[in-house]
Structure formats: structure tokens, C-alpha cells
Amino acid sequence: MRERFNIEALCQLSIDFIGLIFYEKSSRFVEVEGVDLDFLKTTFQSKEIIPQKIFKVGVFVDETVENVLEKVKEYKLDYVQLHGKENVFYCKKIKNVGVKIIKAFPVDEYFSFTNLAAYRFYCDYFLFDTKGKLPGGNGVVFNWDVLEKYKGEIPFFLSGGLAPGMENKIIDFKHDQLAVLDLNSGFENKPGFKNVDLISEFLNNIHRALKGTSGDWGGGN
């Protein structure tokens, strides 16, 4: 997210997370010319614009711990989403200062979920994304059947190519640890600018389908 009115409109919806990307090679990198960073910092510190029930996330890729913690302080972030090759010791350093962690992993049919065991002590969520050329944001759906191999206790974000029209596919997918749907490029008018109407319709469809069941998910951005 980068633009004032887009953020304000999105925060009127039933979302649970809203994010800023601090990876320079991303088309959604927030600290670029033309973005009002003073406004963003003020916005992310304001409970009036971003209600306390919406968690603020910063996305990083192999950034130094010092720089991550600096952004956490500047933007009052609740979570950091780590999309690179950050190891367990890296996560421990972040967690030990009281910052919550979403650790992303690129998944394909060869991914070994046993590698996640050591991370469970320091991560609040995992994020399973499509393995591709980029650390994230490839806009491609992976085969969710491989997630049947995940038997861990850490809840996860489902990411990778989620888009309007996939509501039935999502509802049909069952996993006890599925917690959040990560909505990104499939719901944008341009990189960093969400189509609020599409997200609203999508979430309404999901919630209607789940009404009367024990399942529920939020929408992450």
C-alpha cells in the first residue's frame, strides 16, 4: 500500500492485515519517489485511519536485522513478513525484541515441510507462496494439494496468485491451519494500488459461503 485514499478505503473493509513492502526490487516498494512517506508513517501510527484490529505488516527480503527494526519503529509495525532466506537465528533476533513474525516459504512439489520445525519457536505465522523467479508476488497459483503434507501447529497464510473468481476453490480447500488469505496482485489496478471493490466483493463471497460453518479467514494485503 502506498496511496492515502486507497489505504483509507481499504481499512473500511473486514481485513485483518495491511502491508508495506520494503524490498527495493519489488514493483510495490514503498520508499520510492512520489510516495508521501511522512503521510505513511503518520497513517501507520494512527488508530483512526488504521483501526487497532488491523495489523500492520512490513515485508522484507534478506534485510539486516537493524534495518528491519528501524522500519518497525518508524511505521509502528505489528508484524514483519520475511520473504527471503532468513534463517532461524535471524528470526530469533527479531522475536526476542517483541516483534511478531510471518515467515514466507516458496512451495512446490519438492518442498520439505520438515524444514519448518525449528522455525516454529519464533514465528507466529508461516506464509506459503508459489516458488518462482521472485521472492514473492509472482502472481501464480501453486498446487495446494502439497499442503496436505504440512502437519505443524503454526497457522499459515495462503498466498500466490489468489484472484477474483477463486472463491469456490478456496472454500473447497480444507486445512486446519489455514488462517489468512493473502490478497495482492490479483486485486490491484496497478502495483501497490488495491481495487477496493474487488476485495469487498471477494470477502463478502467468502464470508457468505462460510456463514454457519466453523471456518473463517481474513484478508491480508
Please report which residue ranges of the chain form alpha helices under DSSP H: 4-10, 37-45, 65-75, 88-95, 167-172, 196-210
**In the CATH hierarchy, which top-level class contains the domain 4-220?**
alpha beta
Residue 209: predicted pLDDT: 86
Domain boundaries, the chain: 4-220
Residue 36 cell numbers, joined: 508521501
Q: What is the pLDDT along the chain (221 residues), one digit of tens a residue?
A: 999 899 999 999 999 999 999 999 999 999 999 999 999 999 999 989 999 999 999 999 999 999 999 999 999 999 999 999 999 999 999 999 999 999 999 998 999 999 999 999 999 999 999 876 655 555 678 999 999 999 999 999 999 999 999 999 999 999 999 999 999 999 999 999 999 999 999 999 998 888 755 555 444 44
Report angle CA 21, 22, 26 to the nearest 5 degrees. Answer: 70
Residue 216: predicted pLDDT: 52
